[in-house]
Amino acid sequence: MNENLHGHSELKKTMGPGTVLALGVGAMVGFGWVVLVGEWITSAGSMGAALAFAVGGIMMALMALVYSELVAAMPQAGGEHNYVIRALGPRWSLIASWAIAGGYATVVAFEAVALPRALGYVINLEHIKLYNIAGFDVYLVWALVGAIAAIVITIINILGAKIAGFVQTFVVIFIFAIGAILLVGTFVGGEPAKMEPLFTTTDPGSATAGFFAVMVIVPFMFVGFDVIPQTAEEANMNPRKIGKISVISVLIAAAWYVMIVLAVSVALDDSELAEANLPAADALGALFNGNTLMPTIMVAAGIAGIITSWNSLQMGASRLLYSLARGGMLPAWLGKVHPKYKTPVNALLLLGAFATLAPFFGRPALIWVVDAGSPMIVIAYLLVMISFVVLRKREPEMPRPLRVGGSGNFGLIIGYAAIAVAVFLVALYIPGMPAGSQIGWQSWLVFGLWWAAGLFFMFRVPGGIKPGVDAEEKVLAVLQQRQRK
């Protein structure tokens, strides 16, 4: 049995370039676009919404570029945990890791609710009413669909990254096959006149309000490219390639979202968008002269997106929890690796239990959780961007198989630009700002409870340990010494 520095079994290297790319792209291309694309177009206009995703995609690609250097230099499970502990020390690392873990967990829970919602478009699942939560009736059959799916995805992940990756690759190919049908329909049945207005605004006093109304959702829609660094320890390829795939995955997702916006724009006018239950599904039907099969096919793509996002983020979150436990920052049992399948079994079971219970809380309660997760994710991004600059300055000779911008000042310029992007995204979620004003008190309560739990673990991490290549080993050594006492 192979052992790492901390005595835990190493994860198995089973994923090739195609699988890693499918993980990143699949994590980003979830279900939200099927439901929300109509709101994007109504808020900003057809070209305004497309431009928001193009600009947002460039911003996210810039941060992915920073990640690409870091993951190539430190291709270990846990991603952010490794970068921040080396640059800023253990407590900042726990803050970044706890933030991204919270964001991932909320998305995993949301997907367990999104699946029965999507299936409800074609099948009636509202049987055996249980209770009402925040105005939403919870039905047993509806909830069981999400719960059973959570169990199945957890089992797939426990069986190994190779099997989970195979499922991911197959489903991503299916999504893009349906995307190709949508693209054909855009040229065959699309009406450019329906794209009017090209730009709109939700605030008559501001010409850019509509654009920013869409921009605030961009970070959430692109969550997932950072799953690639989480699973880097299981990637069977040159670390340099892992870094490049991080950037490529963001560009592919950006192109997908722009295509979806434009395709729906030429298929449905404003009145049709207002009446659409699932705009992307209704748009595909309209592009093919009202063919009733086409909306069902698009719903199938949405369900596939749920599976890919869910699978990727559960895999990424489990590796992050495993890495934190491996470094002594979370309870050791979360670092247990399955003796046969070499996967972080306890971390996967914990996330699976969370997802299994989620559908029984109803859709409104889960929206509170997801809204709480979005600001957590951008906090983690900011700390990673800062870590990049710190490591460039303090450890210029650190081995970097992929060096963004070369070894000169241009790399630092990229780093500072990425910090500016991350600060902008964090600022959007401050109460009173565009995204922050849309988050209800319930979400801020969830946010506060998550960080209250994080504080407990934060004070378990010994202070006074300087950042550096051996910071994680020093933290573990101190914790083990405390336990012996």
pLDDT in tens, 435-456: 666 677 888 888 888 899 888 8
Q: How much is the pLDDT for 416?
A: 95
Q: Taking a C-beta distance cutoff of 8 angstroms, is the pair 91, 463 a contact?
A: yes
Distance, CA of 384 to CA of 293 (rounded, Å) = 45
Average pLDDT over residues 404-410: 80
Q: How much is the pLDDT for 2?
A: 35
Q: How much is the pLDDT for 250?
A: 92
9 pLDDT above the threshold of 50: no
Q: Taking a C-beta distance cutoff of 8 angstroms, is the pair 347, 83 a contact?
A: no
132: exposed, middle or buried (C-beta count within 10 Å: 0-12, 13-18, 19+)? Answer: exposed
240 pLDDT above the threshold of 50: yes
Distance, CA of 467 to CA of 96 (rounded, Å) = 15
116 pLDDT above the threshold of 60: yes
DSSP, residue by residue, 399-458? --SS-TT-SSHHHHHHHHHHHHHHHHHHHHTSTTSTTGGGS-HHHHHHHHHHHHHHHHHH
Query: To 5 degrees, how large is the angle CA 378–CA 381–CA 383?
Result: 115
Which SS3 state, helix, strand or coil, does residue 161 take? Answer: helix
**In this predicted model, what pLDDT tens digit does every residue of 181-237 receive, in sequence order?**
999 999 989 999 999 888 876 555 555 677 877 877 777 788 778 888 877 777 778
The runs of H, that is alpha helices, within 231-331 are: 239-267, 270-275, 279-287, 293-326
Average pLDDT over residues 290-318: 87
Superfamily of structural domain 17-484:
Amino acid/polyamine transporter I (1.20.1740.10)
Question: What proportion of the chain, given as a percentage, has pLDDT over 70?
Answer: 93
Structure tokens at 373: 């997760």
Q: Report how far apart, in Å, the C-alpha atoms of 220 and of each of 59, 425, 477 are.
A: 13, 11, 37
Q: Taking a C-beta distance cutoff of 8 angstroms, is the pair 350, 64 a contact?
A: no
Distance, CA of 319 to CA of 78 (rounded, Å) = 6
327 pLDDT above the threshold of 80: no
Q: How much is the pLDDT for 352?
A: 93
* Mean of the per-residue pLDDT values of the chain: 84
Q: Provide the residue type at 99 as one letter.
A: A
Residue owning tokens 């890791």: 97
Average pLDDT over residues 59-69: 91
Average pLDDT over residues 78-104: 89
Distance, CA of 26 to CA of 47 (rounded, Å) = 25
Q: Which residue has the higher pLDDT, 370 or 332?
A: 332
Q: Which residue has the higher pLDDT, 406 or 146?
A: 146
**In this predicted model, what pLDDT tens digit does every residue of 166-184 receive, in sequence order?**
888 888 899 889 989 999 9
1 pLDDT above the threshold of 60: no
Confidence label for 434 from pLDDT (cuts 50, 70 and 90): low
Residue among 87, 86, 67 at smallest CA distance from 473: 86
Average pLDDT over residues 294-323: 87
